[in-house]
Amino acid sequence: MADVVVVGAGISGALVTRALRLSGRDVVIVDRRRPLAGSTMASTALLQYELDLPLHRLAEHVGWSRASRAWRRSARAVQELGDIVRANHLRCQFASRDSLYLAGSRYGRVALKEEAIARQRAGLDATYLDAALLRDHYGIERTAGIVGPGAAVAHPARLTAGLLRRAMKSGVRLYHGANVVDVMPIRNGVLLTTDDDRVLVANQVVFCCGYEVPRLVPPRTHRIHSTWAIAARVRGTLPSWLSHTVVWEGANPYMYLRTLGDGYIVAGGRDEQDGSAHTDLDALPQKAGLLREDVRDLLPALSLDVTHRWGGAFGESASALPLIDRLPGHSRAWVVAGFGGNGITFSVVAAQVVAAALRGERDPDAALFRIDAHLR
């Protein structure tokens, strides 16, 4: 009998395990694949607090109080991830960045003006830039932008591997090749079954399965899309501001980008609604070409040699908030799914919410992320 089984050895599983160990729980991690074989490996790891849905739009969905709390919690999570990295001496290229959010076809100048005011009202450090300021400071031709501190970058695999290694040193056992297909409540615990008929009994289970969301989660809570990314060597000189700034376009299709160091950039976006489209390897060159053009459209002086290109599954909820809750009908089975462009930021929040609940405490923001909040 295990105390807590964490299903999934990606960044969510690693952070949840860490938080549970700090609460004194014994943890076993199981994964159907090897550790880090899920979307964590595909992540471009822009660690942003900005949700995919602008604050002023989220407020229209869930009200100002909940929306501003969600944004502030997200901002805190990026800083807390930095604290975790430093406290554990994780060598994962974690570095703080400014965030530059640009007007695009989805959110134009007027929306950005409103957004900057909303962020300031929520106590977040955000400065509105008009077209002239953007041109002067960044050499970018867009109608508006918002800039502010509070973002970060990291190497997602090293971050996760570092956390998992430390967990294992503290006594956590990790098993791969265990594909959990069923969960059943039993007296004082749960019974997990794998596809090869092995059985695991635990006091509690936390599903950290990324976008392979457990089937008990109502499908209406989220959609699974495909997304793509490239890494490219830059010929010529990168603008100096880019080395300390991540960029996100409020466009459809959107594009984001950051530097990797050593004259490389990574850019991503070009999402499609078909959750399996990323498995079509024939589509990869075209998607990579489009992303390259998106970057050149933004920064025409850059000449790029694409060295790596890849795609992956990507989850989205209507509110852009993560799902962190008990599975319907279960009191001891939790699910964590960090939807949206800041999935890793949400993994930090998920670890805090779940660990608090298992200690018998109530996280003040827990209601924001519950399944019923996603079904409204």
Least separation in angstroms between residue 179's CB and ligand FAD is: 5
**Tokens 């430390």 — which residue?**
166
Instruction: Write out the DSSP string of 262-299.
Output: TTEEEEEEEEES-TTGGG-GGGHHHHHHHHHHHHHHH-
Which residues make up the interface to ligand FAD (CB under 6 A)?
Answer: 7-13, 30-33, 37-40, 42-47, 178-180, 208-210, 212, 227, 229, 268, 312, 314, 338, 341-345, 347
- Sequence-distant (≥ 6) Cβ neighbours of residue 283 within 8 angstroms: 277, 311
In the complex, least distance from residue 194 CB atom to ligand FAD, rounded to whole angstroms: 8
Q: Give the closest residue to 206 by CA, choosing from 326, 306, 322.
A: 326
Nearer to ligand FAD, 10 or 148 (CB): 10
Residue (128 or 355) nearer to ligand FAD, CB: 355
Least distance CB 93 / ligand FAD (angstroms): 13
Minimum distance of ligand FAD from residue 110's CB (angstroms): 27
Closest chain position to ligand FAD (CB):
343
> What is the nearest approach in angstroms of ligand FAD to the Cβ of residue 308?
11
> Which residue type sits at 51?
L
318, 374 in Cβ contact below 8 A?
yes
Q: By C-alpha distance, which of 284, 286, 338 is closest to 315?
A: 338
Give the C-alpha separation, 318 to 316, whole Å.
7
Nearer to ligand FAD, 117 or 168 (CB): 168
Q: Quick one: 128 or 246, whose CB is closer to ligand FAD?
A: 246
E strand spans, the chain = 2-7, 27-31, 46-47, 95-103, 127-130, 144-153, 173-176, 180-186, 189-194, 199-207, 223-235, 245-250, 255-261, 264-272, 303-316, 323-326, 333-337
* Strands 223-235 and 323-326, sheet pairing: unpaired
CB of residue 113 to ligand FAD, shortest distance in Å: 26
The least distance separating ligand FAD from the CB of residue 57, rounded to whole angstroms, comes to 20
Give the chain's end-to-end CA distance (angstroms, integer).
Answer: 38
CB of 10 to ligand FAD, least distance (A): 2
Nearer to ligand FAD among residue 68 and residue 74 (C-beta): 74
- The first and second tokens of residue 192, run together, are 């997990």
Q: Yes or no: say if 174 and 9 are a contact pair by the CB < 8 Å rule.
A: yes
Nearer to ligand FAD, 66 or 222 (CB): 222
Residue 128 or 249 having the CB closest to ligand FAD: 249
Chain centre distance of CA 135: 30
Query: Whose Cβ is closer to ligand FAD: residue 12's or residue 259's?
Result: 12
